[in-house]
Amino acid sequence: MKHKTPADIERTSMEIISAELAEQGIVLHPSQAPVVRRVIHATADFDYVNQLRFTPDSVERLVERLRQGTVIVTDTNMARSGISKRALEQLGCGVHCLMGDADVAELAAEQGITRAVASMRLASERYPNALYVIGNAPTALLELSAMTEQGFRPAGVIGVPVGFVNVVESKEEMLSACEQWDIPGIFVMGRKGGSTVAAAVVNALLYIATDTLDPARRGWH
């Protein structure tokens, strides 16, 4: 096999993605290109070129927040586990998922709400200035949208839940809220998304923030 090392495989994959985009006549916005390519890399799905939506200057603003050590809150442990630990440590960023916490289960039972909603309510109290990353639960995104109407202003929102129920609506509502309240956001419109996509978006931002888009700069061989 020609490509054996992780760095070589990733670099070659990105070259293939760039070449196929060029063949289709697609020119990505320079600041958004690393995010789009990494999502395609994670999914092998070029549809994301048309489905990813960015609020104005969202990449630049979110990268700056990560460089300041902004905390990240996810809606699944899968997304949390997929985010680069090395980059997080380099920037001094923590990442949290409250879905499995006992107090989240208790609040959900008491109020008759989903754990996803309960986790967002508790997270907003503990980490009000966090970057919220939603890859699975549209109810979490709807709750974030509702909280912004009440004055909640997170550092940013990545809204990419996957599925069929409330998914499209949740993304549209949160995107509208981000645009209205000037909250930087990155979204996958439509039904597609998921925890893998959520982690891919965050990793792209982290690699920009740490100047490690080239995998060799991450210490890979």
140 part of a folded domain: yes
- 3 pLDDT band (50/70/90 cuts)? low
d(CA 17, CA 40): 8
Query: Which amino acid is residue 21, in one-letter code?
Result: L
Burial track 157-167 (b if 16+ CB lie within 10 A, e otherwise): bbbbbbeeeeb
Residue of 46, 58, 47, 9 whose CA lies nearest to 202: 58
Q: How far is CA 212 from CA 157, 185, 216, 217, in A?
A: 23, 22, 8, 5
Note whether residue 57 is domain-resident: yes
What are the DSSP calls for 149-174, one per residue? HTT---SEEEE---SSSSHHHHHHHH
Domain membership of residue 152 (yes or no) is yes
pTM for the whole structure = 0.95
Residues 6+ apart with CB under 8 A from 48: 36, 39, 40, 188, 192, 197
Give the tens place of pLDDT for each residue, 22-63.
999 999 999 999 999 999 999 999 999 999 999 999 999 999
- How many other β-carbons are positioned within 10 Å of the β-carbon of residue 203? 22
Q: What are the pLDDT digits (tens) for 131-159?
A: 999 999 999 999 999 999 999 999 999 99
Q: Which residues are catalytic?
A: 41
Query: What's the one-letter identity of residue 179?
Result: E
* Structural domain containing residue 63: 6-214
CATH of the domain at 67: 3.40.50.10230
Contacts of 117 (CB under 8 A, 6+ apart): 108, 139, 140, 142, 143
**Amino acid 78: pLDDT:** 96
Is residue 12 classed as helix, strand or coil in its secondary structure?
Answer: helix
Whether 220 is in a domain gets the answer: no
Residue 1 lies in a domain: no
The tally of domains found in the chain comes to: 1
Q: What pLDDT score was predicted for residue 167? A: 96
Q: Helix, strand, or coil here: 17? A: helix
Alpha-carbon span 148 to 126, nearest angstrom: 16
pLDDT in tens, 166-209: 999 999 999 999 999 999 999 999 999 999 999 999 999 999 99
Tokens read off for 104: 């989240």
How many angstroms separate the CA atoms of 198 and 133, rounded?
7
